[in-house]
Structure 1
Amino acid sequence: MFDLRRLHVLRVVHQLGTVTAAAGSLHLTPSAVSQQLRQLAHELDVPLLEPDGRRVRLTPAALRLLRHADEIAARWEAARGDLQAGAGRVPGVLRVAGFTSSLRTLVVPAVEHLRVHQPDLAVRIMEVETVSAFGRLLTGDIDIAVTLPNQGGPPLDDPRFEQETLLDEPLDLLVPRHHRLAGTGPVALEEVAHEPWILPAPGTCDHQEISAAACAAAGFTPKVAHEAMDWSAVAAMVAGGLGVCLKPRLVRVPAELPVVALPLAAPAAPRRRLLTCTRRGSRAQPHIAAGLEALASAAATATAPRIRPAG
């Protein structure tokens, strides 16, 4: 029999792309990770790594092994859930991660729900952007991640993860209170095609991709005048007349700022889909099941901020 932990190391190397990155996530040295893979290759009598310039890459045999490793990992997660439920025991700590704007709107309300209904369950919240969430799920750093579908991320049928829709959230157009469109009904996105926009820098977060895709669907490329990620800063820029932006409806901005959130006209009104992501097979584990139920409750009761009248 070989050590299943070595299969775990192989899966993390594949997810993160390098031995060094895997070592950091696993709290090991790169030499320890390489040694684990060499021992696994020796036990299976197949090469798992091959040179790729100054780096190494997984061999075809390693990629075939990964398919079996993913199935084993999912069965192990399911077994843990079965044993925990049979023993009537809930693990002591649930680790829930979410990207910045999801923490206030969904994760914190879910944790408040758990404090009432699962008082013996300790919960740790972590702010993790979608691009980093999958690797941290795989290593076991987190149990549930609230994520966004992102370019380059794993597909919904990825054998390592289970991804389920949590919420489809409309995007509203945020404009200054004195804007020509303020006070009107639902607006078409192309009505602001020639105005300056405020967006995050490319590659910094998923909202930039979502906004760019929504504008492209409306037939234009946004003219980015300023770059910012923090919603309070973005709203302040909009209030100052420096540009417009798309804002997820549940994201709050400072009430004192003179801005208006305008709904966009159907049927092309853009939305962002929020997902819950877990390790495949783990959703029946009592603490994870409780966390997912709490997140679903938070999503169901989330309310949109009221649109303040222009004036």
Structure 2
Amino acid sequence: MIDLRRLHVLRAVSHYGTVTAAARALHFTPSAASQQIRSLARDLGVDLLEPQGRGVRLTPAAESLLAHADAIEARWDEAELDLRAGEGVPSGPLRVAGLSVAVAVLLAPMAARLRERHPRLSVLIREVEVVESFDLLFEGEADLAVVEATPANPPAADARFDQRPLLDDPFDLVVQESHPLAGRDGVDLADVAQEPWIAPMADSPCRTHVISACGAAGFTPDVVHLARDWNVTAHLVAHGLGVALVPRLARLTPRLPIVRVPCAGRPHRKLLTCTRRGGHRRPAVVAAMEELRTLAATAVV
């Protein structure tokens, strides 16, 4: 008989990449986490981890076992859903997570609408980065997340998660209101190839979109200022320190002397909803998804 607690430790090592990170997430010591995996390997009579440089990696046997472990986890979730299927009415806590723009524009109004329509439902919102959203879902600490699609995300076919498109968020060129391009209905980014640029920090998923959009227009931007917050970017533009690409969902400080100009080629980022596999069947998540789709339909104008 496989000890499911030990199996969960192995799943955590696969998700977080190292025994140390998995132990931290599970509130174990690294030695305790390693002992759990050694015990599981001894019970099964196979090696589950093998040395790789200074760390370890999962063996083919462990990878095969994890495929079954993910299926077991999904079946447990389905069993819980079936037990609660008779309830029907959204109720209890609904834990949602998302990046800052999603919280401000989508999750906050969603929570307000759900409070009015489903008084037995309590929505708990957490602002987090994309990677942490998947961690919270994996750990069972979140029921629903709105995330940005990035190359670092788990693949769409990952059996642990159910990822669904929500909306495309286009990037606008943001310039000072006195800029020669400020009055246009649209702009080719090549027109600002020689300008100084304000770009997201290197660890921001949006950094890739900005560099890629400029590359598609035939140039590499001269990045002279870096910002993490879109309103910081807007203030830098307002002072004439450069131009920037800003997603349309970002709500910028009003009355700044700046103008948004749509871009040719419509560079954009994709926002997704994500649950644990099968989690979208929960009545509370169904209600939340309905509200999110309604809000998404009018969020980008």
TM-score (norm. length: structure 2) = 0.94
- From 297, 306, 310, the counterpart of 2:294: 297
Q: Does 1:284 align with 2:281?
A: yes
State the distance in 2 between where 1:119 and 1:42 align: 50
Identify the range of structure 1 (138-147 vs 86-95) with the bigger mean alpha-carbon deviation: 86-95
Residue 208 of structure 1, CA deviation: 0.8
**How does 1:144-293 map onto structure 2 within 5 Å?**
144-203=144-203, 205-265=204-264, 268-293=265-290
State the distance in 1 between where 2:129 and 2:293 align: 20
Residue 301 of structure 1, CA deviation: 3.2
Deviation readout 1:18-63 (Å, 9 max, x if unpaired): 1111122122222332222222222222121223343222111101
Amino acid at match of 2:30: P
State the distance in 2 between where 1:198 and 1:37 align: 47
Residue 3 of structure 1, CA deviation: 2.7
Residue 107 of structure 1, CA deviation: 1.2
Residue 88 of structure 1, CA deviation: 4.1
Amino acid at match of 1:95: R
The match for 1:309 is none
- For the 8 Å contact 1:133–1:145, the answer to whether it is kept is yes
Identify the range of structure 1 (269-278 vs 90-99) with the bigger mean alpha-carbon deviation: 90-99
5+ long unaligned stretches in structure 1: 305-311
Deviation readout 1:89-127 (Å, 9 max, x if unpaired): 656221111112221111111111211122211121111
The Cα RMSD (Å) is 1.7
- For the 8 Å contact 2:163–2:274, the answer to whether it is kept is yes
Instruction: State the SS of the aligned residue for 2:206.
Output: helix
State the distance in 1 between where 2:300 and 2:53 align: 53
State the distance in 1 between where 2:222 and 2:24 align: 39
Residue 64 of structure 1, CA deviation: 0.9
State the distance in 2 between where 1:91 and 1:298 align: 21
- For the 8 Å contact 2:131–2:153, the answer to whether it is kept is yes
Amino acid at match of 1:235: A
Instruction: State the SS of the aligned residue for 1:255.
Output: coil
Extract structure 1 runs of 4+ deviating beyond 6 A. Answer: none
- For the 8 Å contact 1:239–1:259, the answer to whether it is kept is yes
Q: 1:36 to 1:87 in 2, by over 3 A?
A: farther
State the distance in 2 between where 1:288 and 1:4 align: 27
- For the 8 Å contact 2:90–2:287, the answer to whether it is kept is no
Deviation readout 1:231-280 (Å, 9 max, x if unpaired): 22110100000011111112111112100001113xx1111110011111
Identify the range of structure 1 (294-303 vs 177-186) with the bigger mean alpha-carbon deviation: 294-303
The match for 1:93 is 93
State the distance in 1 between where 2:223 and 2:145 align: 30
Amino acid at match of 2:114: L
- For the 8 Å contact 2:169–2:271, the answer to whether it is kept is yes
Amino acid at match of 1:222: P
Amino acid at match of 1:291: A
Q: Does 1:47 align with 2:44?
A: no
Amino acid at match of 1:189: L
Aligned length: 301
The match for 2:9 is 9
State the distance in 1 between where 2:215 and 2:131 align: 23
- For the 8 Å contact 1:84–1:90, the answer to whether it is kept is no
5+ long unaligned stretches in structure 2: none
Amino acid at match of 1:101: V
Residue 303 of structure 1, CA deviation: 4.9
- For the 8 Å contact 1:80–1:285, the answer to whether it is kept is no
Instruction: State the SS of the aligned residue for 1:283.
Output: helix
The match for 1:125 is 125
- For the 8 Å contact 2:91–2:120, the answer to whether it is kept is no
- For the 8 Å contact 1:25–1:136, the answer to whether it is kept is no
TM-score (norm. length: structure 1) = 0.91
Amino acid at match of 2:229: D
Higher relative contact order (CA 8 A, sep 6+): 1
- For the 8 Å contact 1:105–1:250, the answer to whether it is kept is yes
